[in-house]
Amino acid sequence: MKITDVVLFRITGKWTGSEFPPGDRQARPLDVYPELDQGARVGTSDGVRTMRAIYVEIQTDAGVSGLFGPIQEAQAFVIRKSLRPFLIGRDPLANEALLDQMIRMDRHGRSGMFMTGVSPVDCALWDLKGKAWDLPVYRLLGGPTRERVPAYASMLGFSVDPEGAGQTALVYREKGFTAQKWFFRYGPADGDAGKAKNLAMARAVREAVGEDYTLMFDAFMGWDVSYAVAMVKALSPLNPAWMEEPVPPERIGALRKIREASDVPVATGEHVYTRWQAKELLVGGAVDVLQNDPDWTGGITELVKVCALASAFETPVVAHGHSLLPALHVAGAQPPVTVPRVEFLIRGQETKQFFHRPIYRPEQGAVALPDLPGLGLVLDEEKIDDRSDVVF
């Protein structure tokens, strides 16, 4: 079997009906510049909305293909310009060799945007392999280790007003989610007033869900060390399961200081690429939970290696949930102590999976493993109004 083409295509369709109410975005690193700290609420009103998504399909001379997406336009650019010419004519089932070769082929390509292009190719290759062997990917990886994987409710984009956040947190606890993650809106540029608003939201959510409920918080790299140290000390009485990305992940010394400042565990890895960067966090004593995203870190192949590395350090992996299926298959093939749960972005997955059939959602706080071959990603043709090639 040989790869005959790597196709990038864009589909569009119409979302009709209700959406989530307007909410708040998270803190961002750029917020330290007041002129760039725009208030941007998220969410729209009821009505018709045009949906767009890009997918990558790897085609072969055996008629078997692998599909993955949605992907970002920058990822599609890397695939089209750098990876497609390399992949044509190669063995699609040799994904270990292909990943290693793709990592080696660009001298600037061991992290960042290039790796985010490699990652969806690897995921599509696993989808192809599963379809070739008529098995779900988690079975090819050695699973299942369980039939359902716990998922935490990731609350990005919901209102951080304390009263509203508390009410929303209670709603999702009653829906069966056993853990939630909330996102802080304010950072160092907002001063003590912003810090007080962050803490008011966190306390309201903790009061709503109860003291024994699993609760996490995320700062999206929007803080500095002194601000983060003050925040984790103030958050400690709320007993969070982790404080995520208080600073960028390459600042290992800073993460270690934050980790040592209180008993609040530190999580990071969403913006870390390959096992070697994950190793630096582990050896440096900078992390309690790794969160490498298979969409960005090198795909399923690399995430499995990160899991093996993390298990040797007794550090759990809870992959960032840019998309659900790759992380779900890896979780379904790993011991629960290594991958205890997956992330489910409550708002984000409704758009990420809009064109898919079936749509995978948690029921009573856990997601069932797919029984379809490959990733279980099937496009719903009834939702697609237009399909076109992506060209650069």
What pLDDT, on the 0 to 100 scale, is given for residue 161? 97
Burial of 258 (0-12, 13-18, 19+ CB in 10 A): buried
CATH of the domain at 67: 3.30.390.10
Omega within 30 of 0 (cis) for the link into 70: yes
- 3-state helix vs strand vs coil in the chain, percent to 5: 40, 20, 40
What pLDDT, on the 0 to 100 scale, is given for residue 110? 87
What pLDDT, on the 0 to 100 scale, is given for residue 40? 63
Same domain, 53 and 120: yes
Q: How many domains does the chain have?
A: 2
388 occurs within a structural domain: no
391 occurs within a structural domain: no
Grouping H, G, I as helix, E, B as strand and the rest as coil, residue 364 is coil
Same domain, 104 and 151: no
Output the DSSP codes for 41-109. Answer: EE---SEEEEEEEEEEEEEETTS-EEEEEEE-HHHHHHIIIIIHHHHTTS-TT-HHHHHHHHHHS-TT-
387 occurs within a structural domain: no
165 occurs within a structural domain: yes
CATH of the domain at 166: 3.20.20.120
Same domain, 112 and 248: no
Mean pLDDT within 88-106: 97
Q: Does the structure show a pLDDT above 60 at 44?
A: no
Q: Do residues 269 and 245 make contact, with C-beta atoms less than 8 angstroms apart?
A: no
Same domain, 194 and 145: yes
318 occurs within a structural domain: yes
Q: β-strand 47-60 against 65-71: which pairing, if any?
A: antiparallel
Same domain, 176 and 127: no
Same domain, 193 and 296: yes
Q: Do residues 90 and 3 make contact, with C-beta atoms less than 8 angstroms apart?
A: yes
What pLDDT, on the 0 to 100 scale, is given for residue 170? 98
- Residues written for the chain: 392
Mean pLDDT within 222-244: 98
Same domain, 110 and 194: no
Domain boundary among 84, 115, 135: 135
What pLDDT, on the 0 to 100 scale, is given for residue 19? 75
What pLDDT, on the 0 to 100 scale, is given for residue 245? 98
Same domain, 109 and 201: no
User: What's the token pair of residue 376?
Assistant: 């279980």
390 occurs within a structural domain: no
Q: Does the structure show a pLDDT above 80 at 47?
A: no
Digit-coded pLDDT (tens) for 158-216: 999 999 999 999 999 999 999 999 999 999 999 999 999 999 999 999 999 999 999 99
| pLDDT classification of 243: cutoffs 50, 70, 90 | very high
* 101 CB neighbour count, 10 Å cutoff: 14
Digit-coded pLDDT (tens) for 75-93: 999 999 999 999 999 999 9
Beta strands in 164-231 (DSSP E): 179-183, 214-218
Q: Does the structure show a pLDDT above 70 at 379?
A: yes
217 occurs within a structural domain: yes
Grouping H, G, I as helix, E, B as strand and the rest as coil, residue 166 is helix
Same domain, 280 and 318: yes
Mean pLDDT within 255-280: 97
Digit-coded pLDDT (tens) for 122-163: 999 999 999 999 999 999 999 999 999 999 999 999 999 999
Q: Is 157 left (phi over 0), alpha (psi -120 to 50) or beta?
A: left
Q: Count CA within 13 A, CB hemisphere, residue 280.
A: 12
Same domain, 350 and 323: yes
Q: What's 110's DSSP letter? A: S
Same domain, 216 and 107: no
Same domain, 313 and 355: yes
What pLDDT, on the 0 to 100 scale, is given for residue 48? 85
Q: State the Cα–Cα distance between residues 76 and 69, nearest whole angstrom.
A: 10
What pLDDT, on the 0 to 100 scale, is given for residue 22? 87
Mean pLDDT within 355-363: 97
Q: Which is nearest to 12 in space by CA: 50, 41, 64?
A: 50
User: What's the token pair of residue 357?
Assistant: 């059939």
336 occurs within a structural domain: yes
Domain boundary among 103, 135, 167: 135
| pLDDT classification of 356: cutoffs 50, 70, 90 | very high
* 335 CB neighbour count, 10 Å cutoff: 13
User: Which pTM value belongs to this model?
Assistant: 0.96
Q: Count CA within 13 A, CB hemisphere, residue 208.
A: 23
Omega within 30 of 0 (cis) for the link into 188: no
Amino acid at 331: A
The residue segments making up the domain with residue 17 are 3-135
* 251 CB neighbour count, 10 Å cutoff: 17
Domain boundary among 90, 114, 135: 135
